[in-house]
Homo-oligomer: A and B are copies of this chain.
Amino acid sequence: MKGCEWCNLSEEDKKYLLSDTEYWTVYLADEQDYIGRCIIILKRHCGSLPELTDDEWMELFLLIKKYEKCIKTVFDAELCNWSCLMNNFYKSPEPCPHIHIHVRPRYKKPVVINGNTYLDNHFGHHYSSGETEQMCSKEDIQTIYGLMKKWLNS
């Protein structure tokens, strides 16, 4: 849809593409406040979960299974927090929501990437939805992306 930035992602936005299936694409999030954080985006413009087709809903389930396994295997996450919120779209006087699912892996143990240690300081509690507490370097994001991509392709 014209004017929807989620329908018209730039090449820069697409740089961390992890999966491209029949109905969905999955990207590693730029914000790695939770290591392995991803966004699952519907390929067509659609504004709410009830408007998904049965086939889209079933393929989403396959992706949930695949990504939770990937994240637990590669980074030893304890669980994943799944959410479909869409609040930001409603800041606009004419909201044009586009379905996407947030995947936030949660960690009991520290995750070490290139010698840098990342802690989930709120483990056992709601994820932090405010400011990013720890910056992840571009090099570390690239490593996270490479590790996930390798697992997904194996």
Contacts and interface: CB of A to CB of B under 8 A. Distances in A.
Interface of A: 48-50, 52, 54, 57-58, 61, 64-65, 68-69, 78-88, 90-91, 95, 97, 106, 108, 123-127, 129
A97 B82 contact: no
Contacts of A79: 48, 86-87, 90, 97
A91 B78 CA distance: 12
B82 A84 contact: yes
Contact of A58 (B57, B82, B106): B57
A88 B78 CA distance: 13
B49 A68 contact: yes
A88 B81 CA distance: 12
A71 to B, nearest CB: 11
B49 A82 contact: yes
A87 B106 contact: yes
27 contacts: A48-B80, A49-B64, A49-B65, A49-B68, A49-B80, A50-B64, A50-B65, A50-B69, A58-B58, A78-B90, A78-B95, A79-B86, A79-B97, A81-B86, A81-B87, A82-B83, A82-B84, A82-B85, A83-B84, A83-B85, A87-B123, A87-B127, A88-B124, A90-B106, A90-B108, A91-B124, A129-B129
